[in-house]
Protein backbone atom coordinates (compact mmCIF):
# COMPACT_ATOMS: atom_id res chain seq x y z
CA UNK A 1 0.00 0.00 0.00
CA UNK A 2 1.43 3.31 -1.08
CA UNK A 3 1.92 6.06 1.39
CA UNK A 4 0.30 9.31 0.26
CA UNK A 5 0.99 12.64 1.76
CA UNK A 6 -1.96 14.70 2.95
CA UNK A 7 -1.34 17.06 0.04
CA UNK A 8 -1.43 14.27 -2.55
CA UNK A 9 -4.53 12.78 -0.98
CA UNK A 10 -6.34 16.12 -1.09
CA UNK A 11 -5.36 16.59 -4.74
CA UNK A 12 -6.74 13.19 -5.72
CA UNK A 13 -10.01 13.75 -3.87
CA UNK A 14 -10.58 17.15 -5.45
CA UNK A 15 -9.63 16.11 -8.99
CA UNK A 16 -12.15 14.90 -11.58
CA UNK A 17 -12.92 11.14 -11.24
CA UNK A 18 -11.57 10.14 -14.64
CA UNK A 19 -11.77 6.43 -13.90
CA UNK A 20 -15.44 6.71 -13.00
CA UNK A 21 -16.18 8.65 -16.19
CA UNK A 22 -14.39 6.03 -18.23
CA UNK A 23 -16.26 3.22 -16.49
CA UNK A 24 -19.58 5.03 -16.97
CA UNK A 25 -18.84 5.52 -20.66
CA UNK A 26 -17.73 1.92 -21.23
CA UNK A 27 -20.67 0.38 -19.34
CA UNK A 28 -23.24 2.74 -20.89
CA UNK A 29 -21.93 2.38 -24.45
CA UNK A 30 -21.59 -1.39 -24.02
CA UNK A 31 -25.17 -1.80 -22.83
CA UNK A 32 -26.55 0.42 -25.57
CA UNK A 33 -24.54 -1.43 -28.23
CA UNK A 34 -25.67 -4.82 -26.90
CA UNK A 35 -29.33 -3.77 -26.85
CA UNK A 36 -29.18 -2.29 -30.34
CA UNK A 37 -27.50 -5.45 -31.65
CA UNK A 38 -30.18 -7.69 -30.13
CA UNK A 39 -33.01 -5.51 -31.40
CA UNK A 40 -31.76 -4.63 -34.90
CA UNK A 41 -29.36 -7.52 -35.43
CA UNK A 42 -31.35 -10.43 -34.00
CA UNK A 43 -34.99 -9.61 -33.22
CA UNK A 44 -36.09 -7.64 -36.30
CA UNK A 45 -34.24 -9.81 -38.90
CA UNK A 46 -36.07 -12.88 -37.55
CA UNK A 47 -39.39 -11.33 -38.54
CA UNK A 48 -41.43 -9.20 -36.21
CA UNK A 49 -44.48 -10.76 -34.59
CA UNK A 50 -47.76 -8.91 -34.74
CA UNK B 1 -32.26 14.00 0.68
CA UNK B 2 -28.62 14.23 -0.27
CA UNK B 3 -27.59 12.33 -3.34
CA UNK B 4 -23.95 12.21 -4.30
CA UNK B 5 -23.35 14.06 -7.62
CA UNK B 6 -21.63 11.03 -9.12
CA UNK B 7 -24.53 8.81 -8.15
CA UNK B 8 -26.88 11.28 -9.84
CA UNK B 9 -24.86 11.10 -13.02
CA UNK B 10 -25.05 7.29 -13.02
CA UNK B 11 -28.81 7.61 -12.60
CA UNK B 12 -29.00 10.03 -15.55
CA UNK B 13 -27.04 7.60 -17.71
CA UNK B 14 -29.40 4.75 -16.77
CA UNK B 15 -32.47 6.92 -17.39
CA UNK B 16 -31.12 8.08 -20.75
CA UNK B 17 -30.59 4.45 -21.80
CA UNK B 18 -34.10 3.46 -20.73
CA UNK B 19 -35.46 6.52 -22.58
CA UNK B 20 -33.58 5.55 -25.74
CA UNK B 21 -34.81 1.93 -25.66
CA UNK B 22 -38.42 2.87 -24.89
CA UNK B 23 -38.26 5.54 -27.61
CA UNK B 24 -37.08 3.07 -30.27
CA UNK B 25 -39.75 0.53 -29.30
CA UNK B 26 -42.45 3.23 -29.24
CA UNK B 27 -41.49 4.54 -32.69
CA UNK B 28 -41.60 1.00 -34.10
CA UNK B 29 -44.95 0.36 -32.40
CA UNK B 30 -46.53 3.63 -33.53
CA UNK B 31 -45.09 4.06 -37.02
CA UNK B 32 -43.98 0.59 -38.14
CA UNK B 33 -46.81 -1.48 -36.68
CA UNK B 34 -44.62 -3.77 -34.56
CA UNK B 35 -46.80 -4.67 -31.61
CA UNK B 36 -47.27 -7.54 -29.25
CA UNK B 37 -49.89 -9.95 -30.62
CA UNK B 38 -53.36 -9.36 -29.28
CA UNK B 39 -56.30 -11.33 -30.52
CA UNK B 40 -59.39 -12.38 -28.63
CA UNK B 41 -61.49 -14.98 -30.39
CA UNK B 42 -63.28 -17.77 -28.64
CA UNK B 43 -64.01 -21.27 -29.86
CA UNK B 44 -65.48 -24.38 -28.30
CA UNK B 45 -62.50 -26.72 -27.80
CA UNK B 46 -64.77 -29.77 -27.52
CA UNK B 47 -66.22 -29.34 -31.01
CA UNK B 48 -63.60 -27.39 -32.96
CA UNK B 49 -62.64 -30.51 -34.92
CA UNK B 50 -66.20 -31.17 -36.12
CA UNK B 51 -66.74 -28.16 -38.37
CA UNK B 52 -65.43 -24.71 -39.19
CA UNK B 53 -61.89 -23.59 -39.77
CA UNK B 54 -60.28 -26.13 -37.44
CA UNK B 55 -61.98 -29.16 -38.99
CA UNK B 56 -59.40 -31.66 -40.27
CA UNK B 57 -59.76 -30.66 -43.93
CA UNK B 58 -59.01 -27.03 -43.15
CA UNK B 59 -55.85 -27.57 -41.12
CA UNK B 60 -52.41 -26.69 -42.41
CA UNK B 61 -51.42 -24.04 -44.93
CA UNK B 62 -54.11 -22.40 -47.01
CA UNK B 63 -54.38 -19.33 -49.17
CA UNK B 64 -57.55 -17.34 -48.72
CA UNK B 65 -59.49 -15.50 -51.40
CA UNK B 66 -57.38 -12.36 -50.88
CA UNK B 67 -54.11 -14.24 -51.36
CA UNK B 68 -53.15 -14.25 -47.67
CA UNK B 69 -51.29 -17.32 -46.47
CA UNK B 70 -53.03 -18.69 -43.39
CA UNK B 71 -51.76 -21.57 -41.28
CA UNK B 72 -54.17 -23.34 -38.96
CA UNK B 73 -52.85 -25.77 -36.39
CA UNK B 74 -54.61 -27.60 -33.58
CA UNK B 75 -52.60 -28.51 -30.50
CA UNK B 76 -53.65 -31.49 -28.43
CA UNK B 77 -51.98 -33.86 -26.03
CA UNK B 78 -49.40 -34.73 -27.36
CA UNK B 79 -49.01 -33.38 -30.84
CA UNK B 80 -49.58 -30.62 -33.32
CA UNK B 81 -52.03 -31.28 -36.14
CA UNK B 82 -50.70 -31.17 -38.80
CA UNK B 83 -47.28 -32.12 -37.52
CA UNK B 84 -45.34 -30.70 -40.45
CA UNK B 85 -46.09 -27.58 -42.43
CA UNK B 86 -44.31 -25.88 -45.30
CA UNK B 87 -44.50 -22.12 -45.78
CA UNK B 88 -42.81 -19.64 -48.10
CA UNK B 89 -39.97 -17.40 -46.92
CA UNK B 90 -40.30 -13.64 -47.02
CA UNK B 91 -44.09 -13.79 -47.13
CA UNK B 92 -46.50 -12.45 -44.50
CA UNK B 93 -48.07 -15.42 -42.73
CA UNK B 94 -51.02 -15.57 -40.40
CA UNK B 95 -50.84 -18.40 -37.89
CA UNK B 96 -54.03 -19.44 -36.10
CA UNK B 97 -53.63 -21.90 -33.26
CA UNK B 98 -56.18 -23.56 -31.05
CA UNK B 99 -56.10 -26.20 -28.35
CA UNK B 100 -58.46 -29.15 -28.12
CA UNK B 101 -57.72 -29.92 -24.48
CA UNK B 102 -55.32 -28.15 -22.10
CA UNK B 103 -52.96 -25.17 -22.22
CA UNK B 104 -50.19 -25.64 -24.74
CA UNK B 105 -47.53 -23.31 -26.01
CA UNK B 106 -45.48 -23.00 -29.14
CA UNK B 107 -41.92 -22.04 -29.64
CA UNK B 108 -39.90 -22.05 -32.83
CA UNK B 109 -36.24 -21.66 -31.90
CA UNK B 110 -34.32 -19.17 -34.05
CA UNK B 111 -37.52 -17.31 -34.86
CA UNK B 112 -39.65 -14.90 -32.85
CA UNK B 113 -42.63 -17.27 -32.85
CA UNK B 114 -43.75 -18.00 -29.32
CA UNK B 115 -47.16 -17.91 -27.71
CA UNK B 116 -49.52 -19.74 -25.40
CA UNK B 117 -52.49 -21.65 -26.76
CA UNK B 118 -55.40 -21.56 -24.35
CA UNK B 119 -58.31 -23.95 -24.79
CA UNK B 120 -61.39 -21.96 -25.78
CA UNK B 121 -59.39 -19.26 -27.57
CA UNK B 122 -57.72 -18.83 -30.93
CA UNK B 123 -54.13 -17.61 -30.72
CA UNK B 124 -53.29 -15.60 -33.81
CA UNK B 125 -49.85 -14.39 -34.81
CA UNK B 126 -48.68 -12.65 -37.95
CA UNK B 127 -45.07 -12.92 -38.96
CA UNK B 128 -42.63 -13.42 -41.81
CA UNK B 129 -39.83 -15.95 -41.90
CA UNK B 130 -36.95 -14.34 -43.78
CA UNK B 131 -34.64 -17.38 -43.94
CA UNK B 132 -35.45 -20.75 -45.52
CA UNK B 133 -34.78 -23.76 -43.31
CA UNK B 134 -36.44 -26.32 -41.09
CA UNK B 135 -37.48 -25.06 -37.70
CA UNK B 136 -38.58 -27.33 -34.86
CA UNK B 137 -42.00 -26.57 -33.42
CA UNK B 138 -42.01 -27.26 -29.71
CA UNK B 139 -44.67 -27.18 -27.02
CA UNK B 140 -43.33 -24.86 -24.34
CA UNK B 141 -46.11 -25.21 -21.76
CA UNK B 142 -46.06 -28.32 -19.63
CA UNK B 143 -49.19 -30.18 -20.74
CA UNK B 144 -48.81 -33.63 -19.22
CA UNK B 145 -46.64 -36.72 -19.13
CA UNK B 146 -46.06 -36.67 -22.89
CA UNK B 147 -45.18 -32.99 -23.07
CA UNK B 148 -41.60 -33.63 -24.14
CA UNK B 149 -42.84 -35.70 -27.11
CA UNK B 150 -45.06 -32.88 -28.35
CA UNK B 151 -43.30 -31.39 -31.31
CA UNK B 152 -43.63 -30.72 -35.00
CA UNK B 153 -41.70 -28.86 -37.63
CA UNK B 154 -42.06 -25.85 -39.87
CA UNK B 155 -40.22 -25.95 -43.18
CA UNK B 156 -39.58 -22.57 -44.72
CA UNK B 157 -38.76 -22.72 -48.43
CA UNK B 158 -37.80 -20.00 -50.85
CA UNK B 159 -40.84 -18.24 -52.25
CA UNK B 160 -40.12 -19.43 -55.80
CA UNK B 161 -39.98 -23.08 -54.63
CA UNK B 162 -43.24 -22.92 -52.69
CA UNK B 163 -46.44 -24.11 -54.27
CA UNK B 164 -49.66 -22.79 -52.86
CA UNK B 165 -52.09 -25.51 -51.81
CA UNK B 166 -54.74 -26.07 -54.46
CA UNK B 167 -57.58 -25.93 -52.01
CA UNK B 168 -58.44 -22.49 -50.70
CA UNK B 169 -60.18 -21.79 -47.46
CA UNK B 170 -63.16 -19.61 -48.07
CA UNK B 171 -65.15 -21.17 -45.29
CA UNK B 172 -66.44 -19.07 -42.48
CA UNK B 173 -64.01 -18.88 -39.60
CA UNK B 174 -64.83 -21.02 -36.61
CA UNK B 175 -64.14 -18.50 -33.88
CA UNK B 176 -66.20 -15.63 -32.62
CA UNK B 177 -64.68 -12.22 -32.08
CA UNK B 178 -65.25 -10.50 -28.77
Distance to chain A for B129, nearest Cα, Å? 6
Task: Write down the pTM of the prediction.
Answer: 0.78
The answer, yes or no, to whether residue B20 has pLDDT greater than 70, is yes
* Alpha carbons B95 and B152: distance in angstroms, whole number: 15
Give the angle B90-B154-A44 at the CA atoms, nearest 5°: 40
pLDDT digit string, tens, across residues B93-145: 999 999 999 999 999 999 988 999 999 999 999 999 999 999 999 999 999 99
The residues of A whose Cβ lies within 8 A of any Cβ of B are 17, 20, 24, 28, 31-32, 35, 39, 43-50
Amino acid sequence: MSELSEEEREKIIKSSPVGTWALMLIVGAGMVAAWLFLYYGVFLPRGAID
Amino acid sequence: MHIDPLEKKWAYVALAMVGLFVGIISIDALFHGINAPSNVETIDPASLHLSGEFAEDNLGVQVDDSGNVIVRVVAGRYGFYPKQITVPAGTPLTFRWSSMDVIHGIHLPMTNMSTMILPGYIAQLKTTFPKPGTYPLLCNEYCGMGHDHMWGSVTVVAKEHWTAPIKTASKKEGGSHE
